[in-house]
Copies of this chain bind each other. A is one copy, B any other.
């Protein structure tokens, strides 16, 4: 595959400066192999990024800056994409929520007991069964058919290296690829050369930190890495008055198809699907919330329809 021609210098400089983690080549090979097999059977495929990225403050890292995200949006969306027939490449923060596994209580030991018939088997309690049975079934159904590939990242650098590699690899899928960029990516970072090796000592008094802006990767991603894909980015704000302006600004700047806009405090019951010339609200009613309905269900259904319409309006590949 040809190396893309950079349009700006800052992201090329960023990639020139970084040292890929040891695991990078292995993860890249795993992604490439998954994408190739899904591409061969012409399945629609979505790259979901999920969870926050860390920005280490020391090379031997004790402290880091992190972004609020446990990966609920990404993990839940992955389940609905699978149910819509997509293959899912799930690129997630280490220890963030996983599709299906997120439905298991972290204290799963409360749901298990040693059988009392002397057989030394461990079984799910009858009172937890109704909740766990569909989860165990769904998990094995998708896992066993090989339509999901899960890969993890921790730092901003590792995330961006894997995002670039996945995007370039997804070119082979043409317009059947969707990118659903739900990860909470740090806007700021400490360049490698400016980082102290050892733990910053607290005896040195107040701590002054200067962070540089992370290069905007959506630009090369849309223009060069995977130009035929359907690209959905996210905008999370705490101040509602900035939200729409920032969503449209991103669409104009990066020329991609869609922004999902949401406010931190209401993100589980209200989101906006924003394109350059449309804006659609998805909102759960109080009754929806009470019944356990999740906003990702109507959202992913909309995106899947939108993607199908895009595909049917293009010449077949």
Contact = CB atoms under 8 A, between A and B. Distances in A.
A214 B205 CA distance: 10
A58 B236 CA distance: 14
Nearest to A202: B187
Given A61-B68, A209-B208, A213-B205, A122 B136 contact: yes
Contact of A109 (B65, B100, B109, B209): B100
A103 B98 CA distance: 18
A213 B257 CA distance: 46
A200 B237 CA distance: 10
Contacts of A54: 66
A26 to B, nearest CB: 19
Interface stretch (A13-21, A113-121, A157-165): A113-121
Interface string A129-144: 1001101110110010
A213 B58 CA distance: 18
A140 B122 CA distance: 13
A114 B133 contact: yes
Contacts of A135: 109
Contacts of A236: 62, 199
The residue among A63, A104, A129 with the most chain B CB atoms within 10 A of its own CB is: A63
A306 interface: no
Nearest to A123: B123
The residue among A58, A197, A238, A239 with the most chain B CB atoms within 10 A of its own CB is: A238
Contacts of A210: 206-209
A36 interface: no
Contacts of A211: 206-207, 209
Given A109-B101, A211-B209, A238-B199, A122 B120 contact: no
Contacts of A239: 198-199
A65 B101 CA distance: 27
A111 to B, nearest CB: 9
Given A61-B68, A106-B98, A140 B120 contact: no
Contacts of A238: 58, 60, 62, 197-199
A95 B70 contact: yes
A120 B136 contact: no
A9 B264 CA distance: 37
A28 to B, nearest CB: 22
A85 B124 CA distance: 29
A101 to B, nearest CB: 6
A217 to B, nearest CB: 13
A310 interface: no
Contact of A95 (B58, B104, B106): B106
Given A54-B66, A104-B109, A188-B202, 16 more contacts: A57-B65, A58-B238, A60-B264, A62-B68, A63-B66, A63-B67, A109-B139, A109-B140, A114-B133, A120-B133, A121-B129, A122-B133, A187-B202, A199-B236, A199-B237, A208-B208
Q: What 8 A-B pairs are tightest by C-beta distance, nearest first?
A: A187-B202, A122-B124, A60-B238, A207-B211, A209-B209, A109-B139, A188-B207, A66-B66
